A and B are shown apart, each in its own frame.
Chain A
Amino acid sequence: QAQLVQSGAEVQKPGASVKVSCKASGYTFSSYGISWVRQAPGQGLEWMGWISAYNGKTAKYAQKFQGRLTLTTNTSTSTAYMELRSLTSDDTAVYYCARGGNSWYVVWGQGTLVTVSS
């Protein structure tokens, strides 16, 4: 069945960047977009953006992350990537990828904890 497997936990210093991967299996990768959602400790879900896995170029970012977030895909490995730059402690969160663009999300990754600490 369709599955998304994310890379492992990360610890980064303030000002650094983080890149999280999301490997898809069990479905045709290019048929769906990939969205990214984060959840700070004890907080709700926050939509970050999505990218088309069909062309790897069409992407939409939440205004809050414009200029600091880059989403990419590699269709040869069925993997999506989320890179967030200029990290602060407010970026400490679990980051999820989910299958879909402007749609509901049936398939989710297991989440990747990113901790920003000096």
Chain B
Amino acid sequence: EIVLTQSPGTLSLSPGERATLSCRASESVSSAYLAWYQQKPGQAPRLLIYGGSTRDTGIPDRFSGSGSETDFTLTITGLEPEDFAVYYCQQYGTSPGFGGGTKVEIK
């Protein structure tokens, strides 16, 4: 079973700043099988990125995904007020799973 570890647990930033979120896998994951989600309180997760770097329909280009093998990154360039939320990475290989999440909070 592949374990995904996200860091940091919490990121305190101001609007306009750049957020860099990390997702590390316990073994190699094809970038084609890595996704990122945003979740706000009381809501279902929302898909941001799939295939490691492809934005879903309607996702602003300030969100970008990168990485390969065991190290993946979600970058948000220029945080907007609506971006403060919890972010999860997901690998969807043979046995899908999620990372523990990173909370992006207002500093």
State the A residues within 8 Å of B (CB): 35, 37, 44-47, 50, 60, 62-63, 96, 100, 102-106, 108-111
- Kindly list chain B residues whose C-beta atoms are within 8 Å of the C-beta of A106: 47, 56
- CA gap between A106 and B49 in the complex, in Å: 10
A-B contact count (CB 8 A): 56
Are the CB atoms of B88 and A47 closer together than 8 Å?
Answer: no
Which of B1, B92, B99, B101 sits near A102, CB closer than 8 Å?
B92
Which of B45, B97, B101 sits near A105, CB closer than 8 Å?
B45
Q: Shortest Cβ distance from B11 into chain A, in angstroms?
A: 15
Are the CB atoms of B1 and A44 closer together than 8 Å?
Answer: no
Are the CB atoms of A105 and B47 closer together than 8 Å?
Answer: yes
Known A-B contacts A104-B90, A105-B45; A45 and B1 likewise in contact (beta carbons under 8 Å):
no
Known A-B contacts A44-B101, A45-B98, A45-B101; A103 and B44 likewise in contact (beta carbons under 8 Å):
no
